[in-house]
Structures are given as structure tokens and as C-alpha cells.
């Protein structure tokens, strides 16, 4: 094994065998990280389209940027939110990054956004969000 890391996606028995072999051959002190797959680019694009639709719709008179809507939905789903005081004296959220979500968490976020938008009469600019939530 070289001095560089190895990433193996456990998609088949062959990849699982490779991962086991890499572990067996790894020198002491190496670190193994098994993680769920990260959210996809399609999921990310879908989320931003939906957030833009909600922002334009201004449900219940709430006027927010897509970024603020993202933070509101992340917070509503229980993701940790921390606020810092901005240079202009207004608080702003930090630490909410959808790039850290796995595919399942992102699908849950998209479903949650879709449910909220549907309840508030948001007109979606793309096919209904449920059609690609798990893409």
C-alpha cells in the first residue's frame, strides 16, 4: 500500500474484497472510515431550485434568500444551528452545510422542503420534488 489513501465504494463483492485486503495489508496506525454515500449533485441542484421557488413564493409573507430558507429547513430537521453576530450587528447562522449530508439525509431534506412548499402553494419550476428526491 502506498502512502496515499485508498477510497473504495462498497458496491459489489469485489469492492468489499478489495477493502478487506487493504485493511489486512495496512500497517499499524492506519485509519479506516466507513461512511454513507454523500448527497449527489442532482440532489443539490434540486434542493437549490426548490429553495429558489420557495423564496420567490414568499409563503406567509416570509421574505428570505434561498440560503436562509436552507438554514431554516436544516434547523427544522434538527441539524445543529449556531448563530454569530455579523459585522452589521445582525445574527447569522453558521455551520449548516448540506455538502456534509449523506444521500438519505439529503432526500429527507428535499422531501421536507417539498411538503412545506406543497402546504404553502409553492409553484415548482421543475417536476414535483418527490420525483427525484432519492436521485
Q: How confident is the model at residue 132 (pLDDT cuts 50, 70, 90)?
A: very low
All domains of the chain in start order, with CATH: 1-34 (no CATH), 41-131 (1.10.3790.10)
Q: Per-residue DSSP letters for the chain?
A: --SS-------SHHHHHHHHHHHHHSPTT------PPBPPHHHHHHHHHHHHHHHHH-GGG----HHHHHHHHHHHTT---EEEE-TTS-EEEES--GGG-BHHHHHHHHHHHHHHHHHTTPPPSSS-GGGTTT-
pLDDT above 90 as % of the chain: 60
The per-residue pLDDT for range 48-104, each reduced to its tens digit, is 999 999 999 999 999 999 998 998 999 899 887 778 888 998 887 777 788 889 999
Amino acid at each position: 500500500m502506498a502512502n496515499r489513501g485508498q477510497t473504495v465504494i462498497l458496491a459489489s463483492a469485489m469492492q468489499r474484497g478489495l477493502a478487506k485486503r487493504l485493511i489486512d495489508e495496512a500497517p499499524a496506525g492506519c485509519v479506516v472510515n466507513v461512511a454513507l454515500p454523500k448527497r449527489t449533485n442532482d440532489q443539490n441542484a434540486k434542493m437549490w431550485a426548490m429553495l429558489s421557488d420557495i423564496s420567490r413564493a414568499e409563503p406567509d409573507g416570509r421574505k428570505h434568500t434561498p440560503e436562509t430558507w436552507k438554514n431554516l429547513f436544516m434547523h427544522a430537521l434538527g441539524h445543529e444551528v449556531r448563530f454569530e453576530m455579523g459585522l452589521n450587528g445582525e445574527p447569522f447562522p453558521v455551520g449548516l452545510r448540506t455538502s456534509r449530508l449523506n444521500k438519505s439525509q439529503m432526500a429527507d431534506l428535499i422531501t421536507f422542503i417539498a411538503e412545506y412548499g406543497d402546504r404553502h402553494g409553492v409553484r415548482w419550476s421543475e417536476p414535483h420534488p418527490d420525483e427525484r428526491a432519492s436521485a
